[in-house]
Amino acid sequence: MPLDSDLIREARGLPRGSPIFLDYDGTLVPLSTDPETTFPDDDVLWIMDRLSGKYQVYVATGRSIPEITRFLDSRYNFIALHGAILKPKDGQPEYVTDAGEYIRKCDAIYAGRDDFFRRYPGLKMTNKQGGLVFIMWGLDEKAMSSLVEEVSMLASQTGMDLYRGKRIVELRIPGVNKGITIRGVRNGAPALIAGDDATDEDSFLDNPDAITVKVGDGDTAARFRVRDVAEFRVLLKAMSES
Protein backbone atom coordinates (compact mmCIF):
# COMPACT_ATOMS: atom_id res chain seq x y z
CA MET A 1 0.00 0.00 0.00
CA PRO A 2 1.52 3.37 -0.99
CA LEU A 3 2.01 6.12 1.55
CA ASP A 4 -0.84 8.58 2.04
CA SER A 5 -0.30 11.31 -0.55
CA ASP A 6 -1.47 14.00 1.89
CA LEU A 7 1.05 12.79 4.46
CA ILE A 8 3.89 12.92 1.93
CA ARG A 9 2.86 16.39 0.79
CA GLU A 10 2.61 17.82 4.31
CA ALA A 11 5.78 16.14 5.56
CA ARG A 12 7.88 17.24 2.61
CA GLY A 13 6.44 20.74 2.94
CA LEU A 14 7.65 21.10 6.54
CA PRO A 15 9.82 24.24 6.66
CA ARG A 16 13.57 23.73 6.94
CA GLY A 17 14.70 24.01 10.56
CA SER A 18 11.39 22.76 11.97
CA PRO A 19 11.50 20.27 14.86
CA ILE A 20 10.61 16.63 14.26
CA PHE A 21 9.95 14.34 17.22
CA LEU A 22 10.49 10.62 16.65
CA ASP A 23 9.89 7.77 19.08
CA TYR A 24 12.62 5.11 19.10
CA ASP A 25 11.36 1.59 19.85
CA GLY A 26 8.69 0.51 17.38
CA THR A 27 9.09 3.68 15.31
CA LEU A 28 12.73 4.10 14.28
CA VAL A 29 13.67 0.49 15.07
CA PRO A 30 11.49 -2.64 15.38
CA LEU A 31 10.32 -3.73 18.81
CA SER A 32 12.35 -6.48 20.45
CA THR A 33 11.73 -8.94 23.29
CA ASP A 34 15.15 -7.82 24.61
CA PRO A 35 15.22 -4.00 24.79
CA GLU A 36 18.97 -4.04 25.49
CA THR A 37 19.74 -5.23 21.95
CA THR A 38 17.79 -2.74 19.82
CA PHE A 39 20.75 -1.01 18.21
CA PRO A 40 20.00 1.09 15.10
CA ASP A 41 21.09 -0.22 11.72
CA ASP A 42 23.14 1.76 9.20
CA ASP A 43 20.05 2.56 7.11
CA VAL A 44 18.18 4.43 9.83
CA LEU A 45 21.32 6.25 10.98
CA TRP A 46 21.96 7.43 7.41
CA ILE A 47 18.37 8.71 7.15
CA MET A 48 18.52 10.40 10.56
CA ASP A 49 21.81 12.10 9.79
CA ARG A 50 20.37 13.40 6.52
CA LEU A 51 17.32 14.70 8.37
CA SER A 52 19.55 16.44 10.92
CA GLY A 53 20.93 18.58 8.13
CA LYS A 54 17.44 19.95 7.44
CA TYR A 55 15.47 19.78 10.68
CA GLN A 56 15.85 19.87 14.45
CA VAL A 57 15.69 16.12 15.15
CA TYR A 58 14.47 15.01 18.59
CA VAL A 59 14.29 11.36 19.61
CA ALA A 60 11.39 11.26 22.10
CA THR A 61 11.57 8.05 24.08
CA GLY A 62 10.57 6.38 27.30
CA ARG A 63 14.17 5.27 27.77
CA SER A 64 16.62 7.00 30.07
CA ILE A 65 19.42 9.19 28.71
CA PRO A 66 22.11 6.54 29.38
CA GLU A 67 20.00 3.94 27.56
CA ILE A 68 19.25 5.98 24.46
CA THR A 69 22.77 7.42 24.14
CA ARG A 70 24.10 3.86 24.30
CA PHE A 71 22.30 3.31 21.00
CA LEU A 72 22.60 6.74 19.39
CA ASP A 73 25.55 8.41 21.17
CA SER A 74 24.80 12.15 21.38
CA ARG A 75 24.10 12.72 17.70
CA TYR A 76 20.55 14.08 18.19
CA ASN A 77 18.41 16.00 20.67
CA PHE A 78 16.64 13.77 23.19
CA ILE A 79 13.41 13.86 25.16
CA ALA A 80 13.70 10.95 27.60
CA LEU A 81 11.68 9.25 30.33
CA HIS A 82 8.41 10.01 28.51
CA GLY A 83 9.04 13.76 28.64
CA ALA A 84 10.68 14.09 32.06
CA ILE A 85 14.17 14.84 30.70
CA LEU A 86 15.26 17.17 27.91
CA LYS A 87 18.79 16.90 26.50
CA PRO A 88 19.92 19.15 23.63
CA LYS A 89 22.42 17.54 21.26
CA ASP A 90 25.30 19.63 22.57
CA GLY A 91 24.02 20.20 26.10
CA GLN A 92 23.46 18.52 29.44
CA PRO A 93 20.27 16.66 30.38
CA GLU A 94 17.77 18.53 32.52
CA TYR A 95 14.71 17.23 34.33
CA VAL A 96 11.62 19.24 33.44
CA THR A 97 10.27 18.60 36.95
CA ASP A 98 11.69 17.86 40.41
CA ALA A 99 12.43 14.15 40.11
CA GLY A 100 14.58 13.48 43.19
CA GLU A 101 11.76 12.00 45.27
CA TYR A 102 10.78 9.58 42.50
CA ILE A 103 14.36 8.56 41.74
CA ARG A 104 14.74 7.54 45.40
CA LYS A 105 11.46 5.58 45.32
CA CYS A 106 12.51 3.74 42.16
CA ASP A 107 15.91 2.96 43.67
CA ALA A 108 14.26 1.50 46.77
CA ILE A 109 11.92 -0.76 44.78
CA TYR A 110 14.71 -1.84 42.43
CA ALA A 111 16.88 -2.79 45.40
CA GLY A 112 14.33 -5.54 46.10
CA ARG A 113 14.31 -6.83 42.51
CA ASP A 114 15.55 -10.32 43.47
CA ASP A 115 12.25 -10.94 45.25
CA PHE A 116 10.37 -10.03 42.05
CA PHE A 117 12.63 -12.31 40.00
CA ARG A 118 12.02 -15.19 42.43
CA ARG A 119 8.25 -14.80 42.30
CA TYR A 120 8.05 -14.03 38.57
CA PRO A 121 10.60 -16.19 36.69
CA GLY A 122 11.36 -14.62 33.30
CA LEU A 123 10.75 -11.06 34.50
CA LYS A 124 13.26 -8.33 33.68
CA MET A 125 13.42 -4.90 35.34
CA THR A 126 15.06 -1.63 34.36
CA ASN A 127 15.65 1.28 36.73
CA LYS A 128 15.63 4.44 34.60
CA GLN A 129 16.42 6.92 37.40
CA GLY A 130 12.94 8.37 37.52
CA GLY A 131 11.05 5.44 36.05
CA LEU A 132 10.91 1.71 36.76
CA VAL A 133 10.03 -0.77 34.01
CA PHE A 134 8.86 -4.34 34.48
CA ILE A 135 9.49 -6.22 31.21
CA MET A 136 7.06 -9.12 30.87
CA TRP A 137 7.97 -10.86 27.61
CA GLY A 138 9.01 -13.96 29.60
CA LEU A 139 5.80 -14.19 31.66
CA ASP A 140 2.60 -16.08 30.95
CA GLU A 141 -0.79 -14.36 31.10
CA LYS A 142 -1.53 -15.37 34.70
CA ALA A 143 1.83 -14.07 35.96
CA MET A 144 1.43 -10.87 33.95
CA SER A 145 -1.98 -10.20 35.49
CA SER A 146 -0.64 -10.77 39.00
CA LEU A 147 2.38 -8.54 38.43
CA VAL A 148 0.31 -5.69 36.95
CA GLU A 149 -1.95 -5.78 40.01
CA GLU A 150 1.10 -5.64 42.28
CA VAL A 151 2.71 -2.75 40.38
CA SER A 152 -0.64 -0.92 40.42
CA MET A 153 -0.51 -1.08 44.21
CA LEU A 154 3.06 0.28 44.14
CA ALA A 155 1.88 3.17 41.99
CA SER A 156 -0.77 4.06 44.58
CA GLN A 157 1.72 3.78 47.44
CA THR A 158 4.43 5.88 45.78
CA GLY A 159 2.22 8.46 44.05
CA MET A 160 3.73 7.56 40.68
CA ASP A 161 1.85 7.14 37.41
CA LEU A 162 1.19 3.63 36.09
CA TYR A 163 1.63 2.87 32.41
CA ARG A 164 0.77 -0.32 30.51
CA GLY A 165 2.61 -0.90 27.24
CA LYS A 166 3.44 -3.80 24.95
CA ARG A 167 4.43 -6.49 27.45
CA ILE A 168 5.63 -3.92 29.95
CA VAL A 169 4.23 -2.15 32.98
CA GLU A 170 5.97 0.97 34.22
CA LEU A 171 6.06 3.37 37.15
CA ARG A 172 6.55 6.93 35.88
CA ILE A 173 7.08 10.42 37.29
CA PRO A 174 3.59 11.91 37.65
CA GLY A 175 2.38 15.00 35.84
CA VAL A 176 4.69 14.85 32.83
CA ASN A 177 4.39 13.24 29.42
CA LYS A 178 5.91 13.50 25.97
CA GLY A 179 3.12 15.69 24.68
CA ILE A 180 3.54 18.44 27.26
CA THR A 181 7.32 18.55 26.78
CA ILE A 182 7.08 18.50 22.99
CA ARG A 183 4.53 21.32 23.06
CA GLY A 184 6.92 23.41 25.14
CA VAL A 185 9.93 22.68 22.92
CA ARG A 186 8.21 23.49 19.66
CA ASN A 187 6.51 26.62 21.06
CA GLY A 188 3.99 26.74 18.23
CA ALA A 189 6.45 25.95 15.43
CA PRO A 190 5.40 23.58 12.63
CA ALA A 191 6.44 20.04 13.54
CA LEU A 192 6.16 16.35 12.74
CA ILE A 193 5.57 13.88 15.59
CA ALA A 194 5.61 10.10 15.19
CA GLY A 195 5.25 7.11 17.47
CA ASP A 196 3.77 3.65 17.83
CA ASP A 197 2.71 3.29 21.45
CA ALA A 198 0.09 4.53 23.88
CA THR A 199 2.56 7.04 25.34
CA ASP A 200 2.74 8.71 21.94
CA GLU A 201 -0.98 9.43 22.05
CA ASP A 202 -0.21 12.18 24.58
CA SER A 203 2.06 13.72 21.96
CA PHE A 204 -0.67 13.61 19.34
CA LEU A 205 -3.42 14.94 21.62
CA ASP A 206 -1.32 17.79 23.03
CA ASN A 207 -0.10 18.88 19.58
CA PRO A 208 -3.14 18.62 17.26
CA ASP A 209 -1.76 21.27 14.88
CA ALA A 210 1.37 19.21 14.15
CA ILE A 211 1.81 16.52 11.50
CA THR A 212 1.13 13.47 13.68
CA VAL A 213 1.89 9.93 12.51
CA LYS A 214 0.90 6.65 14.14
CA VAL A 215 3.25 3.75 13.30
CA GLY A 216 1.37 0.44 13.24
CA ASP A 217 -2.09 -0.72 14.26
CA GLY A 218 -4.41 0.45 17.02
CA ASP A 219 -6.68 3.36 17.83
CA THR A 220 -5.00 6.73 17.56
CA ALA A 221 -5.47 10.48 17.73
CA ALA A 222 -2.82 10.93 15.04
CA ARG A 223 -3.84 12.50 11.75
CA PHE A 224 -1.93 9.94 9.68
CA ARG A 225 -0.86 6.31 9.91
CA VAL A 226 1.89 4.19 8.38
CA ARG A 227 1.91 0.41 8.43
CA ASP A 228 5.20 -0.32 10.22
CA VAL A 229 8.80 0.77 10.84
CA ALA A 230 9.83 0.00 7.27
CA GLU A 231 7.06 2.15 5.79
CA PHE A 232 7.86 4.97 8.20
CA ARG A 233 11.47 4.93 7.02
CA VAL A 234 10.21 5.42 3.48
CA LEU A 235 8.52 8.63 4.65
CA LEU A 236 11.64 9.83 6.50
CA LYS A 237 13.81 9.12 3.48
CA ALA A 238 11.44 11.13 1.28
CA MET A 239 11.66 14.02 3.74
CA SER A 240 15.47 13.85 3.77
CA GLU A 241 15.59 14.04 -0.02
CA SER A 242 13.05 16.81 -0.56
Q: Which of 4, 6, 23, 34 is catalytic?
A: 23
pLDDT-derived band at 33 (thresholds 50, 70, 90) equals confident
Question: Strands 85-87, 94-95: parallel, antiparallel or unpaired by DSSP?
Answer: antiparallel
Q: What is the mean pLDDT of residues 163-176?
A: 90
pLDDT-derived band at 1 (thresholds 50, 70, 90) equals low
d(CA 200, CA 194): 7
Q: Give the list of residues 6+ apart from residue 227 with CB closer than 8 angstroms, or none.
A: 1, 216
3-state class (DSSP) for residue 188? coil
**Is residue 34 predicted with pLDDT exceeding 90?**
no
- DSSP H helix total and E strand total for the chain: 9, 12
Domains and CATH numbers, the chain: 5-29+38-97+176-241 (3.40.50.1000), 100-172 (3.30.70.1020)
**Is residue 95 predicted with pLDDT exceeding 90?**
no
pTM for this entry = 0.85
Is 196 one of the annotated active-site residues of the chain? no
**Is residue 122 predicted with pLDDT exceeding 90?**
yes
